Structure 1
């Protein structure tokens, strides 16, 4: 699909810390509206720390980052919910409430992000569950679903507020290959509708089968396949 030149993420001379350790230094890149980007690198190379910084879970101390119009450096805790309404976050560990039904999990997010009209909430719930292929599971408990179905619930939760960008941290890491491919195709469908996707992955097969731009965390830097050629070795 064609992209606009409007960046939904702009990273300028940023240094990423985990606790007191520097994991990535002086990094620069942009992600434009509707773009699909793989984030790769060895375990401990900075992928998760970068994602956490982008969605406001880790403080940015050096450099500048803007995500969907929000400056991340020194962002106030009171401003983070407004950022989160414009983005979607998907974890490898599903992080669902296992004592609540699928519907209750999604309603929790809606209420936390300002939804009040119950009729609109029910309509949106049905819409996002249909979109991820789970139209008949709203009353089920998470433990009644397979791992792949639980991850689809997490994706539905991330789509509630029609985000401009999805950040997915190893979303298929706990799933078998066949289920993983179904989840990957779902991300591609979401991306085709205009939502940017940044997916951290170790799955070399995905990158070969579904080529897209790659950002590689290596030796404390970010290498960008749109600017330089590099081998996809060392991503495990």
Structure 2
């Protein structure tokens, strides 16, 4: 059996590693597949560039994903998505990106053009999906819940591939929040992503990913 390779990228403080962990937990509790998670670049402290590797399959022999070998990118910020786009398998991968630009912390550094960033990523992928997770989370007063929209999106895809169960993902979300309000917002963001994927992800995208798992 082959391996499905997912990179999760963003900046410290966005819940990158938390997102990777809930994806891994959902797979482990829904299937008989193994999961490896490794954070190899950047710093998890607030504002630092972060990339986390998730590998899903029966036989995982290395924890990290080489450049050009990622099947899926989940990105919580556009600049970081463009920065790590070289990890994507050229024209045989998908990118799921939160439509958010974070101004670089260095003074006098110009904010990159949004459309140019999107085109840069789009040119490398088979298909790209742009979500409004951060804006939806901000409206609900819980910006840190933005990663749940990406969790919902990838959970929908993995459910259709037969390796994640929606009820398992929702149960995991219920265990995350420190308050009922946060849990409620997390579930709302999850469902936004889940429903977007159900609507936008076509059978050809699923077929592309199925090849990686020989399903």
TM-score (norm 2): 0.30
Q: Whose RCO is larger (CA < 8 A, sep 6+)?
A: 1
More helix by share: 2
More strand by share: 1
Question: If you compute each CA radius of gyration, which structure gives the higher value, 1 or 2?
Answer: 1
